[in-house]
Amino acid sequence: MTTAQRAATESRELLEKLVSVPSVTGDERACAEQLKGYFERHGREAYVDEVGNLRAPADDGVLLTSHIDTVPGDIPVRVEEMPHVDVRWGGDEPPEGIEGTGTVDVLWGRGSVDAKGPLAAMAVAAVRTGASFAGVVGEEVDSRGGRHLVEDRPAPDAVINGEPSGWEGITLGYRGLLAGTYVATSESGHSSRPDANAIQEGIAWWNRVEEEFGHDEWVPVFERVTPKPVSFEGGMTDDGLSVETTIDVQLRVPPEFTTDEVREIADGHLELGTVNWDDRVEPVMQSPRTPVARAFRAAIRGRGGDPRLLRKTGTSDMNVYAQHWDCPMVTYGPGNSDLDHAPNEHLGLAEYDETVAILEDVTERLLEE
């Protein structure tokens, strides 16, 4: 076995080990220890910090980072050979007009795409190039690991955040998030009375918010404020004297707005009740002309790819980093993001290999500048 073959085998073994260790949000320690051992075996300092992040400080010309935690879900970890697809399409059918060829090894398991594929690729590239690395916790819930990171260390010169984008995709933008809980109370009364109770008032408020942010279908989702109720409770209080309602809501915020602007608009439609806005993540949109984005385009083209600039409708830790660090950044990683949190989550290992090579190329370019 050649040196390159041994390196590729070790890289895949790290990925499979990380996927094999469950790390649902709040229980990431065992997976962080796996990463710690990997860095220490390669002579790198690594430690688990007070919130559970795995830190491997080194050359801060680039910080390579991804999240350790996953959503729940038991998907048996296994590698299977899938026939009749091109290895570069990650185990999925190639685009229309491109004939599939050969076979591809595919790793199944919770987190293989979101985001242990990107996590392992970042770790391997950090070891090979000497760049700084952080595996963070809590991204799937509240980004507590990323929030701690920006408070606990200075900004690096550049950030490459790990999330699935596909090997040719470069994610430059994410919408933000505004989340809160609407609460209202009204006096109880017979249901035949025409006066609106708290339940009706809550529904009416939310209808006004949805109407406010309504868009024609031609407006891209990334550019819309998307309101979404996520839970609803309402009814008579135990003493029978009042009607109460609570609605947990989320609004996705495009870069055109700040979360404060969206909050003011939503609050302006209140007639009864209040909203406790308890989670805010600002949107982010990076320029395609930064040194990081240029390096990715060059590296992807160098391996025969056609770079795609992406804008994601959700949020990621890049939102947190961009709000606190004034440095260029992108999000990148192997995998089809349609498989995030899915019961058939899987990652083509050939695509994983491609992204490791591209990350190594990009990081070396940036560290040499």
**Which pTM does this prediction carry?**
0.90
pLDDT of 282-303, one tens digit each?
Answer: 999 999 999 999 999 999 999 9
Catalytic (active site) residue 59: no
Q: Which of 28, 69, 163, 317 is catalytic?
A: 69
CA–CA gap between residue 118 and residue 223 (Å, rounded):
26
pLDDT of 89-123, one tens digit each?
Answer: 444 555 444 445 567 789 999 999 999 999 999 99
Name the more confident of 325 and 102.
325
pLDDT of 28-75, one tens digit each?
Answer: 999 999 999 999 999 999 999 999 999 999 999 999 999 999 999 999
Start and end residues for every CATH 3.30.70.360 domain found in the chain: 176-281
Name the more confident of 210 and 85.
210
CATH number attached to the domain at 3-175+284-368? 3.40.630.10
Q: Which of 86, 92, 139, 317 is catalytic?
A: 139
| Mean pLDDT, residues 226-255 | 90
CA–CA gap between residue 251 and residue 253 (Å, rounded):
6
- Helix (H), strand (E) at residue 132: strand 131-136
**Which residues neighbour 207 within 8 Å (Cβ) at sequence distance 6 or greater?**
none
- Architecture, CATH, for domain 176-281: 2-Layer Sandwich (3.30)
Catalytic (active site) residue 368: no
The four Cα atoms 170, 175, 181, 186 give a dihedral, to 10 degrees, of: -150
Helix (H, G, I), strand (E, B) or coil at 61: strand
**To the nearest whole percent, how much of the chain has pLDDT over 70?**
92
Contact yes or no for 279/182 (Cβ under 8 A): no
